[in-house]
Amino acid sequence: MKKVLLASVMVVALSGCQMTTEQQADWKQDNKIEMMNAQIQLDSAVWIDQMPTIGEKTDESKVNFALTLTSEQVIAPELMIDKVILRQGDNSWSLSYDEFEVRVHDNHTWEVTGQSFYDIDATQVIDIAIEANNEWIVETDIQVDTVY
């Protein structure tokens, strides 16, 4: 009887953990989305900076990205970029707020830029997902450039 009770408690505890997991990106989503009365398109550029830095003794190749959100309509100023996720193969990285910033060029063009030190393979494509106001916009199969 104690074993059944213990097993029941474990199942309930584990199911609670499962329900509280972080929301994941919808990787089947398109790079165009209707959001806040604007048709928004994502165009991404990703490159690895392998330029040597004076005084640095270790290889700190930086992954840089410029994610451009464009629309023919006005992009609502209330739009909040909540999360940026990079994915390559089986690995994915959720960027912290310190690793990206949002730049508003005008009412129709926003740019999410940043850099990090994730171990990205420049010979393989990368996928990027942006969560904004609880909706996802995704671009897949992005070529990674290398800057020397």
Cβ-based neighbours of 88, under 8 Å, separated by 6 or more? 120, 121, 124, 125, 126, 127
Cβ-based neighbours of 8, under 8 Å, separated by 6 or more? none
Cα(73)–Cα(86) distance, integer angstroms: 27
CATH class of 24-147: mainly beta
Cα(138)–Cα(32) distance, integer angstroms: 8
Adjacent-strand bridge partners of 105? none
Supply the pLDDT for residue 58.
60
Supply the pLDDT for residue 2.
47
Which pLDDT tens digit goes with each residue over 73-84? 999 999 999 999
Which pLDDT tens digit goes with each residue over 93-140? 999 999 999 999 999 999 999 998 898 999 999 999 999 999 999 999
Could you state, in order of their start, the residue ranges of all structural domains in the chain? Answer: 24-147
Query: Bigger pLDDT: 26 or 21?
Result: 26
Chain position carrying tokens 């990285």? 93
DSSP 125: -
Cα(85)–Cα(91) distance, integer angstroms: 10
* Average pLDDT over the chain, rounded to an integer: 85
- Kindly report whether the global pTM for this prediction surpasses the value 0.85: no
**Would you say residue 3 has pLDDT above 60?**
no
